[in-house]
C-alpha cells in the first residue's frame, strides 16, 4: 500500500492524484502533531465532474472528505478500511503551517 | 442487440456465424442476413464519469466510438462497471425509447419519479467490471444506443465503464450458403425485444 508524508500547511499539500480510470481509497491516516498547538487537518478531494443536464459546464470542485483536530503532542492514527473515496486529487490542508506536524496518508487505487 | 446475462457470455470467434433477425438493422445489414466471422480483435476501452448527486447525463455510444465505421465490421461489446455504486444506467434505443420496460403502459423507467426509478436499470452489481454481463452488438449506421446515467446517491460518484470490444470482420454469406448453416448466433433487432 503506497503512502505519503506531508507537513501541516495552510496551502493544500497534494498527497496523491487518482488515475482517471481508478477510484482512490484512503486506507490509513496518521497525524503526528509535535507542534506547540492543536492542529485541524482537512482531507480534500478536488476533481471536475462530468457535464450533466443540471450543470452543462462544470468547473473544478473541492469536497472535504475528513476533518480531524489533533491535540498538541498527540499521535493520531486511524485504519480507515477504504471508506474514504477520492475521485480526483487528494490534498491535505491544515489550519496552521508547522513542519513539526506530519501527516501520513496510506492509499490505494481500485 | 442489447442483452443482460447471468454469467459473462463468450466472445465470438473466427469461423463462427451470426444472423441478424427481427428487422432490418441498416441499409447494409438486413433482416435474415448471415455472416461468417473471418477475424477478430479485442480492444479494451474505458470511459469515466463523475456525476453529482441527483443529476444525470447521457452518452450516445456512437459518439464515443462504439460503432464501427466499416460496413463489414461487427462490434460485440461487453460492458463492465466499476465504482459508481449508486449510478443507475437506463439504455435507450433509439434515443428517447427505453429498452427495458414492463408491459403495463405506466411502468417505464423514469428516474425523476421514485416509484419508477428502479425499473429497467443497470448498475455496477448487474455487470461488474471483472465479470461483465451486459452485451451489445453494433454495426455501422445502427440507430443510436443511448445510456442515461443518473446518480441516485447523496454524494458525487465516479463510474468507470470498461468496454471489451470484440471487433469482428464479417464475410457475408449467400442465401444458399446461409441455408447450410445450422449453428449461429442470433442478433436480434431491438424491435424484436420490445413487442
Which chain A residues are Cβ-neighbours of B56 within 8 angstroms?
52-54
Instruction: Note whether B141 and B26 are within 8 A (CB).
Output: yes
A23–B160 CB contact, under 8 Å? yes
Q: For residue B194, is pLDDT > 80?
A: no
Helices (H), chain B: 175-180, 190-193
Q: For residue B195, is pLDDT > 80?
A: no
Task: Indicate the pLDDT class of residue B192, thresholds 50, 70 and 90.
Answer: confident
Q: What is the spatial distance between Cα A27 and Cα A16, in angstroms, rounded to a whole number?
A: 13
- The cell for B106 is 405506466
Which chain B residues are Cβ-neighbours of A49 within 8 angstroms?
50-52, 156
Burial A70-90 (b: 16+ CB within 10 A, else e): beeeeeeeeebeeebbbbbbb
B55–A55 CB contact, under 8 Å? yes
Would you state the pLDDT for residue A82? 61
Would you state the pLDDT for residue B181? 93
Residue B116: CB atoms within 10 A of its CB come to 15
ipTM: 0.92
User: Which are the contacts of B73, defined by CB distance < 8 A and separation ≥ 6?
Assistant: B139, B140, B167, B168, B169, B170
Please tell me the distance in Å from B131's CA to the nearest CA on chain A. Answer: 15
- Is the bond preceding residue B94 a cis peptide, omega within 30 degrees? yes
Q: Which of A75, A52, A62 is nearest to B59 (CA)?
A: A52
User: Which are the contacts of B72, defined by CB distance < 8 A and separation ≥ 6?
Assistant: B169, B170, B171, B172
Instruction: Note whether A95 and A33 are within 8 A (CB).
Output: no
Q: What is the spatial distance between Cα A9 and Cα B75, in angstroms, rounded to a whole number?
A: 51
Q: For residue A16, is pLDDT > 70?
A: yes
Residues B47-101: pLDDT tens digits?
A: 999 999 999 999 999 999 999 999 999 999 999 999 999 999 999 999 888 888 8
Residues B137-160: pLDDT tens digits?
A: 999 999 999 999 999 999 999 999
What top-level class would CATH report for the domain A3-109? mainly beta
Would you state the pLDDT for residue B36? 98
Q: Which of A5, A9, A30 is nearest to A96 (CA)?
A: A9
Task: Indicate the pLDDT class of residue B173, thresholds 50, 70 and 90.
Answer: very high
Alpha-carbon dihedral sign for residues B130, B133, A81, A42: positive
- The cell for B85 is 455504486
B55–A53 CB contact, under 8 Å? yes
Query: Structural domain boundaries of chain A?
Result: 3-109
Q: Does B45 contact A at CB distance below 8 Å?
A: no
Distance of CA A46 to the CA centre of its chain: 10
Residues A34-89: pLDDT tens digits?
A: 999 999 999 999 999 999 999 999 999 999 999 999 999 999 999 887 679 999 99
B83–A48 CB contact, under 8 Å? no
B56–A63 CB contact, under 8 Å? no
Amino acid at each position: 500500500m503506497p503512502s505519503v508524508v506531508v507537513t501541516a500547511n495552510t496551502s493544500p499539500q497534494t498527497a496523491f492524484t487518482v488515475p482517471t480510470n481508478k477510484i482512490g481509497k484512503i486506507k490509513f491516516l496518521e497525524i503526528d502533531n509535535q507542534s506547540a498547538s492543536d492542529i485541524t487537518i482537512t482531507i480534500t478531494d478536488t476533481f471536475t465532474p462530468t457535464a450533466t443536464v443540471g450543470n452543462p459546464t462544470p468547473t473544478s470542485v473541492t469536497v472535504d472528505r475528513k476533518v480531524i483536530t489533533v491535540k498538541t503532542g498527540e499521535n493520531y492514527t486511524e485504519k480507515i478500511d477504504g471508506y474514504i473515496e477520492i475521485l480526483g486529487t487528494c490534498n491535505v490542508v491544515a489550519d496552521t503551517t508547522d513542519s513539526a506536524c506530519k501527516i501520513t496518508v496510506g492509499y490505494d487505487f481500485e | 442487440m442489447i442483452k443482460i446475462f447471468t454469467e459473462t457470455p463468450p466472445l465470438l470467434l473466427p469461423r463462427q456465424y451470426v444472423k441478424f433477425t427481427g428487422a432490418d438493422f441498416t441499409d447494409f445489414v438486413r433482416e435474415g442476413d448471415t455472416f461468417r466471422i473471418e477475424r477478430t480483435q479485442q480492444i479494451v476501452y474505458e470511459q469515466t464519469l463523475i456525476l453529482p448527486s441527483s443529476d444525470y447525463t447521457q452518452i450516445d455510444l456512437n459518439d464515443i466510438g462504439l460503432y464501427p465505421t466499416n460496413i463489414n465490421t461487427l462490434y460485440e461489446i461487453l460492458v463492465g462497471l466499476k465504482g459508481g455504486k449508486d449510478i443507475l444506467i437506463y439504455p435507450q434505443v433509439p434515443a428517447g425509447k427505453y429498452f427495458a420496460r414492463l408491459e403495463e403502459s405506466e411502468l417505464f423507467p423514469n428516474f425523476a419519479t421514485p416509484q419508477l426509478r428502479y425499473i429497467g436499470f443497470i448498475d455496477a452489481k448487474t455487470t461488474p467490471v471483472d465479470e461483465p454481463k451486459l452485451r451489445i452488438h453494433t454495426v455501422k449506421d445502427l440507430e443510436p444506443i443511448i445510456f442515461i446515467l443518473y446518480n441516485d446517491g447523496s454524494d458525487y460518484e465516479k463510474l468507470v465503464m470498461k468496454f471489451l470490444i470484440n471487433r469482428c470482420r464479417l464475410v457475408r454469406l449467400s442465401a444458399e450458403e446461409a441455408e447450410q448453416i445450422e449453428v449461429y448466433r442470433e442478433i436480434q433487432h431491438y424491435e424484436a425485444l420490445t413487442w
